[in-house]
Amino acid sequence: MTIDDRSEPPPEPAPGPEADEHPRGPDGRSTDHPFGSGPPPWLAASLNHCTVCGAPLALKLVAGEERERLVCANGHIAYVNPRLVVSTFPVTDEGHVLLIRRGFEPGRGLWAQPGGFLEVDETPSEGAIRETREETGLHVALGEIVGLYARLEAAVIVLAYEARIVGGEATTGPEATEIVAFPPESLPWPEIAFRTTYWALVDWLARRRPELRPSGPPPGR
């Protein structure tokens, strides 16, 4: 499998002016969940019992920890960490960016890149290729990493690769009701599903088509 597409020009070092201005770093542009606020409420509500002994969990300060942790009466700590979503921006030979219209919530009916949760027994590269194949029917070879984006309110970190289509047939299904390769000049900015997708596209443009800008503000989620 070819990972490195040598036919592409070398990337520009500058990630774009927006990236430098955000106090939480470029990955902080895509989240509103403040540092120190712990797990988002929907996730905390699902963490009621210790997975080791079954006793109730409570948020407490624990010796040796720098923040409150969910802990049971027997001292088992339930650490809560984000999950990794692996995704690709497949780019056609014409330089068009392939996006899918999502068939499921969140973001149903809106556009995003193919992707999904990394499984515990695969590398991020394997997962990104697998998810792209599952959602679009297309086989891709990964290129450069476009970026890493936080959606902490969803307890998710999104890794986005640029990719090249090397086989398969674009096939819609329940997860992707439409599959469209958009010219970079006419990306569907008002209908982008997630801020993570928005900022990844901004970063991709800054690298490949620096003369272009998004035509609207980031989406609310």
* Residue 74 binding Zn ion, by CB under 5 A: yes
Q: Is the dihedral of CA 175, 178, 183, 184 positive or negative?
A: negative
Q: Which region, judged by CB under 5 A, interacts with Zn ion, from 75-83, 107-115, 133-141, 174-182? A: 75-83
What token pair was written down for 11? 């990337």
Whose CA is closest to 160, among 213, 66, 88, 212? 88
**Interaction between residue 53 and Zn ion (CB under 5 A):** yes
Q: Assess 57 for contact with Zn ion (CB under 5 A).
A: no
Closest CA to 128 of 146, 148, 142, 138: 142
Q: Which of 72, 97, 141, 165 binds Zn ion (CB under 5 A)?
A: 72
Stretch that binds Zn ion, among 36-44, 68-76, 183-191, 207-215 (CB under 5 A): 68-76
d(CA 66, CA 90): 41
Q: How many chain residues interact with Zn ion (CB under 5 A)?
A: 7
Closer to Zn ion by Cβ: residue 78 or 84: 78
Q: Which residue is nearest to Zn ion (CB)?
A: 50
Measured from the Cβ of residue 12, the count of other Cβ atoms closer than 10 Å reads 11
Stretch that binds Zn ion, among 72-80, 108-116, 131-139, 176-184 (CB under 5 A): 72-80
- Which residue of 76, 96, 209, 221 would you call a contact of Zn ion, by CB under 5 A? 76
97: exposed, middle or buried (C-beta count within 10 Å: 0-12, 13-18, 19+)? buried
Contact positions toward Zn ion, by CB under 5 A?
50, 52-53, 55, 72, 74, 76
